[in-house]
Structures are given as structure tokens and as C-alpha cells.
Structure 1
Amino acid sequence: MGVLSGLEDLLRSCAPRVLAAVARRYGDFYAAEDAVQEALLAAAKQWPGAGVPDDPAAWLIRVAARRHIETVRSEQARRRREAIPQDPLPEVRGDDELTLLVLCCHPALSPPAQVALTLRAVGGLTTAEIARALLVPEATVGQRISRAKQRIRETGARFAMPPDSEIGERLTGVRQVLYLIFNEGSTASSGGSLHRVELSAEAIRLTRQLRDRLPEDGEVAGLLALMLLTDARRPARTRPDGALVPLAAQDRGKWDRAAIAEGIEIITDALKRFPVGPFQVQAAIAAVHDEAPDAAGTDWPQILLLYRLLEALAPGPMVTLNRIVALAEVDGPLPALRELESLPPAIEHRVAAVRAHLLERSGAREAARDEYRRAARLTLSLPEQRYLESQASRLS
């Protein structure tokens, strides 16, 4: 199981780079994805027996390019009975994934379709992972991806970075996709590991590229700052055995101070120079947490004010839940418990975990224990399950 899981992770990490390289070389995203999927299937069959190549991405690119050429030759032969001349193999370039991301956020696609397609093509997430990230049924995600690929093919869009004047039309989708990819890497929605570092690292790399391309966009700056300030805590978020460590209990000496300093510098500059947006507010909240010397020194009144601002700018169930957590730190658990009842079932396991914590703080230990256990049953993340079950056992 471990070997198969490792192979699956390797293929997943290679897929976006391979797809971007093949799509750039031949200009046809739709056909390139088909060719890459065939290459991935070939690798899944051959590598367990033959061994993993020294350069897995190059192997996949060669196979995908060969599949693409064979397909084109077959189509051309049927129409003109001519062979296509040999093409040089595509190469991986540092900006390929950013170009692929912008292509997937084509204005002909609806925002939900942009997000789903980019998470598949650039983030390498499965349909089930995308469904959990977007809080929608898996079948819906599958339909969105299929229709999005068909729509891109119909528009005749080629693999090329559009001019800066057109990038602005796609920025909302691009930023949201990068945020979701980072979140899935920072706190995996399922599986045995809390982190998927390859996803969070890729999101940060792509966001850096986007900021270099659009240095006057305040929300891109805010997004990069948010990622850096959040990722800086990653070394302290788990114990050596993989157990989850909540923010209040983390060893802040393990936090990445260089990333924190960079994130604070970016968000401070953005808040001075640009209109305030949701990602900037989230980065400001992360900065308040990261600047606190310890949990007791956290400026919760400021965090509560920032969450109220965020709720006005970008309302949503997770924003409301986080505001309620801040409210409990400022006004106590009872007002916060009353507000939890208004949240939707889509984030039920997170609501149950917060309710358990607030019940424990209010002295209702038995009710808190039951809520911890319910939250553990509802989450698909094994580290979260273990943490919530340990909290319930502590109250038994």
C-alpha cells in the first residue's frame, strides 16, 4: 500500500508540469490532457515492475508527446494520408503552470467551472478532493470539468499568456483557485497527512509569479502574504507522530520567522497602497496571530474587528465560523454558542469541533465530549480525527 501510495503521489505531483509542457508545445489543452492521462496510465502500469525513471516528468512528457503525435498523425492520415514531421520534445518551463492556470480561468467559463478545471489541471486534485474543497457533490464537479474542457475547445483558445489587459478579466478566478490549492495543501481535506506540501508550495510559487506579473494588484499581494504567514506555522502544526497541534499549543519557536517577516512586509505595504480586499484582510488576521509572542498575547479584539470587516467584504460560512471563534475569545463562550446555530450543514464537522470547544469552556464536559466525537466521525482527515477523539477521551 505504501509503495502504491508513493507512486500515486509522484504521478500527481508531476501531472501539472507535464500537462503544461505538452499543452504549451502543441497549443491544444484538450488534446494535451488526453495524452497526459494516457501517459499517467502507462506509468501506473509500468513503473511498479520496471522501476521509476530517474526523471519521471521527462518520461511522462515523452510518452504524452508520443501519444499526442500518434493521435494527430492518425487524424491527418484519415483526412490527407500524410504523416506529420517529427517534432522536438516539449520542455518544462518555469512559467508554464501560470500560463495553464490563466488558460483554465478563460472568461468563456463560469467561475465555478474555472475553479474546478484549474484545481484538476494545475493543482492535480482528484474530483473527490475538489468536491470537498468546494463543498459541492462529486458528480457536480465531474460535470463542471467535462463541460469546461469542451468549452475551451470550442473557443479555440491556445496555450499562451494573454496580454495584461485581458489578464484582469480572469484575476478573480485565478486568485480563488490559488487560494483553494494552497488550502488543500495546508490542511488536506482527507487522508492520513495533515499537509500536502507539494500543493501549498506550488500555490506559493505560482502566486509569486502572478505578483511579479501584476505588482500593482493589492489582492494578489494580500494572497501571497496570507500564504506565507499561514505556511510559516507548518513546522509546529504536527508532532513527530503526525498528531495535530492546535494554534494555541504550538511551539512558536518552530515557526518560520523569515516567511513571517516577508508576509508582514508584503501585507503592510499592500494595505498602505491599495484598496482593502478580502485576501488583504485575511493576511492581516494571520499577521496578528503570527506577531503574538504567545497564545495569551493574541490581540483578539483586533482579530474580531478584522473578521467583521471580512464578513462584510466576502461573507461565507467559514468566515462566520472564524468570527464566532474570535467572539468567544472576546466575550466568552455563551454568546458564541448561540450564534453557531445559524451555520449551514456544509461545514458541519468544523461547527461541531468549535461547539465542542465552546461547551468545554462553558463547563458542559459531557456535551463537549459528545460533540468532539461527532466532529471526529464527520471529518475525513485522519490527523483531525485522532485529535478530536483524543479531546473526547480527555473528557471521559
Structure 2
Amino acid sequence: MLLKKIELSKNGTYINKYELSYKAVDGSSMYGFKKDNWGYLGISDDGDCGYKHAESVNPFSAATTDALLGIKYPTGGAALFNFESNTYAYIGSDEITDFSANYENLLKFRHLSYDFTSNGSVFLHPVTAETKAIFRPSIVVPADQTTAPVHMMLQAYENGQLVESTNLLCHYNNPVCCVKITLYPNRSYKITRTAFDLNYNGIDGVSIDFYKNSVPQKKYLYGGGIRVKEIQYYESPVNIEYFDFNNVNLNSSPSKIKKYDYNEFSDSDKSSGALVHQAPIFETQGTVNLDTNCFNTSGSYVTTNIGALYTEIKDFSEMPVISTQGAHVGYKNVKIYETDKGYKQFTYTSPIDYPESDYNIGVPYIPSKNVDYKRGLLLNEKT
């Protein structure tokens, strides 16, 4: 249930009215939805065989669903709010060094396709750095056969020696498949197509997308809720129900715009955000001792104690029991831009300065010491 209206009355007469609107789910979206680790709505996109890259839809963009979109004031003016996913580069005071999970750090830089009308092979262009590739073969193994009448594979050579072979085939239960392979600069790669039936005259192909790491890297990960990105203020009437920040409003122009940046002042590619706790987990591992009792060949009774490892998977996380009522992410640096006024820089205390200590990622969960009151305090303001 969302609050849509606030009306103020005096002596039984309404004197002021505030109207509120909220961001709705994009009903035209071609993607499905799921919850992220923190329980916020996320986009489920398996395009490009699950490889998220800089051209992919941001899976965290749906986290702003049901967030406040606009407030219409009694004066006729309005304020419109644009939210986005939090980012972080720290967990407490521990700096994150691996940002490969950020889809923006993977760039699609080449697309190739090859068609074979007869048996043969083709060498791929050498790669100069470790490269991820997605192969989409056209050959499908029929349901009633263990192999297709034609075969395609990728062969890897190192110092002239064959070191690895990968089948480029799809199966009948997944006819539009993809094969993910990491290519290395010290190897050469050859695609080979072989038809076992001499009368076979079909055309077989494979398309390939190549991905590389971006330079410089985006030094942050997404998650942990949402933050304000932009606020637009209007003195004239504006439709707050269907406002779209991506489109220019032709009927009214904002009198003031504020935009927020949360990256470090010293590194514009790195978030100043820090998680209070690690991302919620849904799997825990443990060990259980098992006693086995049996008789040996001489008739003696033997007891053996062994330890067994197990993994427990749940559809919910128990980590909220150690969480506080504060935000999941706190920021050290915030830069606020305002129309015709430049920007101001604000430095705050954050989980980097006051990290959580003595907590377990798993059972037994230790209650938080709750030092939220020390975080978010203004340390410096600079114009």
C-alpha cells in the first residue's frame, strides 16, 4: 500500500493538498524479474548467454520500483526524484579489489561469423589479452542420435601442440545454445568442421562475440538498495504520474536541478560506498560427525568416526538478524551539482571509518554492536 495523497484541513475545510507518485514496474519490459540478495527487485536477463556486459540492461535498475517519483505541492509546483542502485567498493574498511562482477567492465569489441559448405578449418585472429568469447553454433545433435552427421570443434594450440578441444554443438533440447570459452594470448585457435557423411551438403555456421575488460575499470559493485541520483524542481504544473527522466519534458522546464555523485573525489571511477555487512548469503557450509558401526571379518565390532561436509541452501538469508536499521551502504564522498551554481563536495564518516567487527558470515550469528550513530556525520564541506 502506497500513500498517494496528504490533505490538511482546518475547521473541517481542506486547505492544502500534497499528491505523491511512485515509480511503477515497466510493463512493456521484455525481461523477467527476480529479487536481489537484499530483497530489492532486479531484472532477470539471460541474454548473451548470461554474459553481462556494458551494453546489457542494468540488472539492478528495477530496484527503484515503488520508490518515490514525485511530490505535487499545494502551490502547483512539484519535485521529481530519480533514484538508482547503490554502489560500493568497500565492505566495512576492507577495500574490494576484484570488480569483475560489474557488468560494465566487460566490453563487446568484435563479432565474427563463419559458414562452412564443405570440410575445412579457419584460424581465429590472435588475441593480445585474455578474452572471453561466446560461440553460437548452428549444428544440432538430433534427439535420436548421440552425434550429429557433421561435427564442429574449436582447437587450441600452444607452441604448435594441440592442448585443448571444445565441441561446438547444440543438442536437440537446447537448439539455440552457446559455448563460453576464455581465449588466451599465448595460444592460437582453429575452428574445424567435419562431415562424416560424404553425401552431406548442408551449410553449417558459427557466430562469435568477443569481450574484453574495460580500461580503466569501473571500481564498484552494484547492490544494497537505492540512492537519489537527481532531483528536479518545477514551479509550473507537471505530470508526476508518468514522468520520465530519460525524455525531455516539452511542456515545462525545471527551475532547479540537483544531481548527486558518490564516487571518490580522488578517483572518479571508484565508488566511495561501503557495505556495512557483506552481501546476504543463502548458502552455508558445515561439518557433521558420523559414526559407522560394523563387524570386521574376524567378527569384532568396529566403530569408525568420520566427518562429512554439507552445504545448506535456503530461499532466505539469515544475515538480517545481525543487521541494524540503518542503510546497507554508506558513502564517504558525495558531490552535489546544482543548476547554475557548480557543485559542493561533502565528506562524511562511513563504514570505512566505523566498520562492523566480530560478526560471522554463518552460524552462530553475533548481534551487531550497532555503531550506525557514528556513520553519516559531516566531516567537511567544500564549495
Report the TM-score when normalising by structure 1: 0.20
Q: Comparing both structures, which one devotes a greater share of its residues to strand?
A: 2
Choose between structure 1 and 2 for higher RCO, CA contacts under 8 A separated by at least 6 residues: 2
Point out the structure with max Rg over C-alpha.
2
Report the TM-score when normalising by structure 2: 0.21
